[in-house]
Structure 1
Amino acid sequence: MTSRERVLTASAVLSLAVLAGCDSGEAGQALPTSGAEVSTTQSESAGEREFTKAPPVQDPLDASKYLKDPCSSLTESQQQEFNVTSSRENSDDDNSGCRWNVGDGSTSPGVSYATGIEEGLDRLYALNDTGHWDKGYFEPTEVSGYPAVYVEIVDNRDRGDCNLAVSISDDLFFNSNVLTRAGNDACGAAENVAKAVIETIKAGE
């Protein structure tokens, strides 16, 4: 079992809890807002273009209660195991989100539900077809059986900033972002947080 396959085990918790170094400011603008116009189809001189679509979600999750209270996306038990010391909601018109501080506050995981993107993860795939992520990264994966993609406009993973978008229905995904010290496995920590969020939503449906 690899470190990315472990969540809420002692080693997975430790991998998140020991991350430290950068301040707990807001993450980079990983997701396009509703103003970033791109459709899953586009008219071109050669005809109608089909954009790539994300894999469909086989077992959709109802996250409606967590959109209203995003900080409950991690249970009290999970927060204790991740050594969370404080949290703050950071929602806006396009996202319903929460950011936590871990330990002394130098590590900051966050989760935001992309409520302003009606096409769900398809939007990110369509943007990839246009070269939107060319200066950053776009790496499809899956988390606990759900389609996901490591994605960001600028690649700051070596500086301890990693973003992971996870599709929980065909029209909704959440963004798991971890800010930490350069050289630490921020992407592994982002996946651990994402797995914990999925576990919470499944239990709370």
Structure 2
Amino acid sequence: MPNVLRNRAAVAALVLVSVAVAGCTGETPGTAAPTPGTSASSAAPDDPNVPKVANPLDASAFVGDACKLLPAAAAAELGFAEPGEASNDTSNPACSWHIRGKADGLQLILGSGNREKGMGGIAGLRKAKDSGQLRFLEPGPDVDGYPTVYYGLQDRRARGNCDLAVGIADDLTFSAHAGGYDNEQESCGNAQKAASAVIKTLKGA
């Protein structure tokens, strides 16, 4: 895996894991630690900044292999001819794709670990932003009817790195991280295309 993607993957995983850790330890000042196994969205049911998911999707079949979220044909359309590489570095299953000799990279992370710790969904990312763990969180365009947010330790879209989280249940997201591109249009466009392919996979599961 190219260093650019590896570094981005580490940061992305750190963000997702820090959300879960803060939620289960209660170390974040002013933030009550939810009971493990409960939905993070239930902690703030009236928060207008947290969109509800009208038609939740079941991603349980992909917890053991996040690479199956993106079919080979869909990956090829994004320029990734080689199979994805699974990562077990975090409690959230992940898979990465890259193009040999180029910086372009894609990573998908399923936030099932955050869900188990009661810090899943877009609500969990909102809590991380409110507590200062995330510096950047902004609503994104719906993908196939599912709400999204751009997020990260900082906004890196103008530099060709796009981090997009998609709410597929009130307490579950998956994230598409596209990086190493020349501009925001390419990186976020590919993140959205990958997200759409994942949603189609989940609907067909």
User: How far does residue 78 in structure 1 lie from its aligned partner after superposition?
Assistant: 1.2
Deviation digits for residues 28-87 of structure 1 (CA, Å, limit 9, x no counterpart) = 234343212369x946xxxxx958362221111111121111111111221222221332
Structure 2 equivalent of residue 197 of structure 1: 198
- Is 1:60 paired with 2:56? yes
Tell me which residue corresponds to 2:73.
Answer: 77
Please show how residues 83-94 of structure 1 align to structure 2 within 5 Å: 83-86=79-82, 87-94=84-91
2:39 aligns with none
Matches of residues 7-46 of structure 1 in structure 2 within 5 Å?
Answer: 23-27=4-8, 28-29=11-12, 30-33=15-18, 34-37=20-23, 42=31
Kindly, what percent of the aligned residue pairs are identical?
28
Unpaired stretches in structure 1, ≥5 consecutive residues? 1-20, 44-48
**Matching of residues 148-159 of structure 1 within 5 Å:** 148-159=148-159
Output the CA distance in 1 between the equivalents of 2:178 and 2:145: 21
- Partner of 1:84, secondary structure, is coil
Equivalent AA in structure 1 for residue 93 of structure 2: S
Deviation for aligned residue 1:131: 4.3
Cα distance change, pair 183–140 in 1 and its aligned pair in 2 (3 A): closer
Rate the CA distance shift 1:167–1:137 in 2: closer, same or farther, 3 A: closer
Q: Report the alpha carbon displacement of residue 169 of structure 1 after superposing the two structures with TM.
A: 1.3
Q: Tell whether the 8 Å contact from 1:107 to 1:178 is kept in structure 2 after alignment.
A: yes
Matched, 1:146 2:132: no
Match of 1:175 in 2: 175
For 1:31, the aligned partner's letter is L
Shift of 1:130: 3.3
Q: How many pairs align?
A: 177
The alpha carbon displacement at 1:127 in A equals 2.4
- Cα distance in 2 for partners of 1:175, 1:109 equals 10
Which ranges in structure 2 are unaligned for 5 or more consecutive residues?
33-42
State how far apart, in whole Å, the 2-side matches of 1:66 and 1:105 are: 28
Structure number with higher helix proportion: 2
TM-score w.r.t. length of structure 2? 0.74
Amino acid at match of 1:85: A
